[in-house]
């Protein structure tokens, strides 16, 4: 688990690398009605929206403003 996630994560959050999302995503993502993705700037999180929607079948959003929001 990434040190920044442990230090200041959103409760219920799962930390995943985009490059390993296909292998770890389904197992690592907690059950939810929808998902909110974030990263330092929120820019990179947008690249994973379609992938998480396909894995979960749930709506996926990007946190505007990234982790600092």
- 54 half-sphere exposure, CB direction, 13 A CA radius: 7
CATH code for the domain in which residue 9 is found: 3.40.250.10
Q: For residue 62, what are the domain limits?
A: 3-68
Give the SS3 label for residue 69: coil
pLDDT tens track for 11-56 = 777 778 888 888 877 777 888 999 999 888 888 899 999 999 999 9
What is the number of structural domains in the chain? 1
Give the SS3 label for residue 40: coil
Strand 35-37 with 60-62, pairing: parallel
CA proximity to 29, closest of 37, 69, 50, 68: 37
Model pLDDT, residue 66: 85
DSSP state of 60: E
């Amino acid at each position: 688990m990434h040190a920044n996630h442990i230090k200041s994560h959103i409760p219920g959050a799962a930390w995943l690398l985009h490059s390993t999302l296909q292998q770890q995503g389904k197992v690592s993502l907690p059950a939810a009605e929808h998902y909110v993705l974030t990263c330092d700037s929120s820019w990179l999180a947008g690249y994973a929206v379609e992938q998480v929607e396909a894995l979960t079948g749930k709506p996926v959003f990007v946190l505007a403003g990234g982790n600092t929001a």
